[in-house]
Amino acid sequence: MDSLIISNICQRPTRTLVSVAGVALGVVLVVINTGLVRGMLNERMMREQNIGAEIMFSRKGAGSPLSPSSVLSLDVRYVDRLAKILGVKAVSPVGRYVQTGSSGIGIEQVDGIDFQSYTAISGLRIVEGRVFQADDEVIIDEKKAHDSKAGIGSEIQVFGKRLKVVGIYAPVSGSRIKISLESLQRLLSSPNKCQFIYVKCNDPENQVEVLKRINTQLPGNIVVLTRDLVLGFGNSIPGLDGFVKAVLALSTVVSTLVILLAMYTTITERTREIGILKALGASKRYIVGVIEKEALAISLIGVAVGLLIAWVAGWGIERATSLQLEYHWTWVVVATLIGLAAGVIGALYPALRAANQDPVKALAYE
Amino acid sequence: MNPILQTEDLAMTYHVGKVDVPALRGVNLAVAPGEFVAVMGPSGCGKSTLLHILGGLLKPTSGRVVVDGEDLAAVSDAARTDIRRRKIGFVFQRFNLFPTLTAEGNLRLAEHIHGNGKRQENDETRREILKLLRLENKMRHKPLELSGGEQQRVAIARAVINHPAILLADEPTGNLDSENSAIVLRMLAQLNRELGQTIVMITHNPEAAAVTKRTIEMRDGMILKG
């Protein structure tokens, strides 16, 4: 039977290719999209964690530091009030501006920071050049410098303007592009405002107590532990879960339909051969097995091709854009199962149809 | 000797729209083990219907068809398929080989189906049959690389490789020239003689019928003679 399956697969290379492409497309959709989501989230979380603050303070409606909002709604006077709370070591106000990625794909965030207080929390240091001193000056992290091939003196696009890179900093933390908070306030016409305030505790072990004190002394604000931001980050992006589910559903439907159509065409083409199988005494189960195994073999090839394409595409996307991909074996397994399930489910109707054919009519089929 | 194939009052009526078309009207037939029987008759006389019923491809409207002790008319579709797998071999006018498989692949597939999905190959039997049908050197060829006569010999090998109780041949020389027809008929006769294979052959060709031991004549769904 195996040689029949292999020979059938080889007999119609175009049909096999189209079927393989259909399954591969589903696999690529799942792996790339989940890889992108995971990569972007983890990379952003890593950068947020690198800031070194245990608590983030913001106003309702300002969004989380990871969400795409450019509204500066928090009065910077909260900085002084937070600094006076017991257990607080340092505070730093941050404004954030969200723009389209420099490659035209995805988004890019620009942090407006108070350099002194931010470095006190994060340990950020200038490794090349100097800190910004004017509204048209920015500092960027080493990865941004590497990816954009930007050095001291080069210009990058922020707020639709060409701003000059005057310094490169390390380690990566928060957004990759930073300007002074005052500059951002002027550019967004929001004087004395910021988006959120990072709070560093004297003793990280006491962060929960400090958070409670902040909530008590400054009620009505959003006060969260940055470690919880990491845990709840996926939920903070509206529609993310729905998007992933939609991708899974779309992949399953596309792959299943492609296999269904391909196998349906196949059994119509091979009606007489199915008649021969029946004449030889092949049971319905045997015939279903032949067709299902063929679909499964095509799906396996499709899964392998899809994973290969996803890997190559991921490599290309990371090189060509600022997007980050992070593949996880769980999603590779999910994509593989979707591809194989699509093969089995898609081939089921054609297989049952073939198995139920009248042998005499099938043998007379021209 | 008990017949290996027997029909009793076999009737078959096709329903075409609202019209009933009788194809077989009470066929009584008995074939002894090792017999080589030809069934002749004009087109539409019911020969093919009879062959399909004898092979379990069709269920008769009424009557009995007993093959090697099992009544094909009294069992389910699945059971009929199973009897066909174990006891019946088919040879068709159009050869009906799998075009994507080699001659060897066609034989192995028949063995695989006969073994119900398990490998069931008997190399000695295979050698004997291939030698008898002069196919030893053709096993790696695909059907389209073989002549019509060779294809039909492969089809015969496929039909007998699992030692069926009966071999049903439907116009086996209908697509062959006279030279290849003669070869195929000679080989069928040889299979019957040397392996004791029971054969029921439908044919229009009196020369083909001449190689058999008995000729049954059919007309209007009934046996006239034989």
- Residue-wise pLDDT for A352-361, tens only, equals 999 999 999 9
Nearest to A8 among B85, B100, B117 (CB): B100
**Token match 């994060």: residue?**
A122
pLDDT at A210 (0 to 100): 94
CB environment A36-56: b (16+ within 10 A), e (fewer): bbbbbbebbbebbeebbbbbb
Q: Specify the long-range contacts of residues A309-313, CB closer than 8 Å, at least 24 apart.
A: A309/A24, A309/A27, A309/A28, A310/A27, A310/A28, A310/A31, A310/A32, A310/A35, A310/A335, A313/A28, A313/A32
In a domain, B75, yes or no: no
Give the chain A residue nearest B161 (alpha carbons): A280
Cβ separation B84–A279 shorter than 8 A: yes
Is residue A232's pLDDT more than 60? no
Kindly report each contact of residues B113-122 with a partner whose C-beta sits within 8 Å and lies 24 or more positions away, as own/partner.
B113/A277, B113/A280, B113/A281, B113/A282, B113/A286, B113/B85, B114/A280, B114/A281, B114/B85, B114/B86, B114/B161, B114/B162, B116/A283, B116/A286, B116/B85, B117/A1, B117/A286, B117/A289, B120/B162
Let me know how many helices (H) and strands (E) chain A has, helices first.
13, 12
Sign of CA dihedral A171, A172, A175, A177: positive
Q: Name the residue among B58, B84, B96 with its Cβ closest to that of A276.
A: B96
* Mean of pLDDT values over B14-23: 90
Give the span between the Cα atoms of A11 and A269, in whole angstroms. 12
Task: Among A114-118, A234-238, A244-248, B204-208, name the one with the lowest average pLDDT.
Answer: A234-238
B226 or A35, which is more confident: A35
Query: Cβ contact (<8 Å) for A3 and B84?
Result: no
The yes-or-no verdict on residue A161 having pLDDT over 90 is no
Residues of B in contact with A284 (CB under 8 A): 78, 81
Contact B117/A281, CB-based, under 8 Å? no
Q: A25 vs chain B: nearest CA distance in angstroms?
A: 29
Q: Determine the Cα–Cα distance for residues B221 and B210; give it in Å rounded to an integer.
A: 22
**A272, B85: Cβ pair inside 8 Å?**
no
pLDDT tens readout for residues A114-125: 999 999 998 899
Predicted pLDDT of residue A62: 58
Beta pairing partners, B21: B14
Q: Average pLDDT in the A163-167 region?
A: 93
Does the N-terminal peptide bond of residue A171 adopt cis geometry, omega within 30 degrees of 0? yes
Please tell me the total count of domains within chain B.
Answer: 1
Nearest to B105 among A3, A277, A281 (CB): A3
Closest CA of chain A from B164, distance in Å: 11
pLDDT at residue B185, as a whole number:
94
In a domain, B38, yes or no: yes
Percent of chain A with pLDDT over 90: 49
pLDDT digits (tens, 9 = 90+) for B125-163: 778 888 888 888 888 999 999 999 999 999 999 999 999
Q: How many contacts (CB atoms, under 8 Å) link A and B?
A: 71
Alpha-carbon span A219 to A100, nearest angstrom: 35
Interface with A, mutate which of B53, B96, B114, B158 (most A CBs under 10 A): B96
Q: Is the pLDDT of residue B121 over 70?
A: no
Per residue in A189-219, is it b (16+ CB within 10 Å) or e — as a string?
A: ebeebbbbbbbbbeeeeebeebbebbeeeee
The reply to whether B66 falls in a domain is no
Structural domain contains residue B97: yes
- For residue B65, being part of any structural domain is answered with no
Q: What crossing angle do the helices spanning A284-320 and A240-269 adopt, rounded to 10°?
A: 140
Residues of chain A with Cβ-Cβ distance to B86 below 8 Å are 281
Q: pLDDT confidence of A237, banded at 50, 70, 90?
A: low
Percent of chain B with pLDDT over 90: 77
CB contact under 8 A, A283 and B116: yes
Tokens matching residue A310: 């996803």
What CATH number is associated with residue B173? 3.40.50.300
Contact in structure between A310 and A27 (CB atoms under 8 Å): yes
Q: What is the mean pLDDT of chain A?
A: 87
Residue B148's CB is within 10 A of a number of other CB atoms, namely: 17
Is B14's Cβ below 8 Å from some Cβ in A?
Answer: no
Kindly state whether residue B170 falls inside one of the protein's structural domains: yes
Nearest chain A residue to B119, by CA: A1
State chain B's mean pLDDT as an integer.
91
Mean pLDDT of A76-86: 93
The structural domains of chain A, with segments of one domain joined by +, span: 2-41+240-364, 60-220
pLDDT at A334 over 70: yes
Look up the pTM and report it.
Answer: 0.77
Q: What is the pLDDT of residue A236?
A: 57
A273 touches chain B (CB under 8 A): yes
Q: What phi and psi values does residue A147 have, to the nearest 5 degrees?
A: -65, -40
* Residues 63-92, chain B, touching A (beta carbon < 8 A): 78, 81-82, 84-86, 88, 90, 92
Residues of A in contact with B105 (CB under 8 A): 3-4, 7
Residue A67 has pLDDT above 60, yes or no: no
B28 domain residue, yes or no = no
- Please check whether residue B125 touches A, CB under 8 A: no
Closest C-alpha to A96, from A196, A12, A218: A196
Distance of CA A359 to the CA centre of its chain: 52
φ, ψ of residue B64 to 5 degrees: the values are -120, 145
Range of the domain at B49: 33-60+80-225
pLDDT at A243: 83
Q: Is residue B188's pLDDT more than 60?
A: yes
Banded pLDDT at A106 (limits 50, 70, 90): low
Q: What is the structure's pLDDT at A231?
A: 59
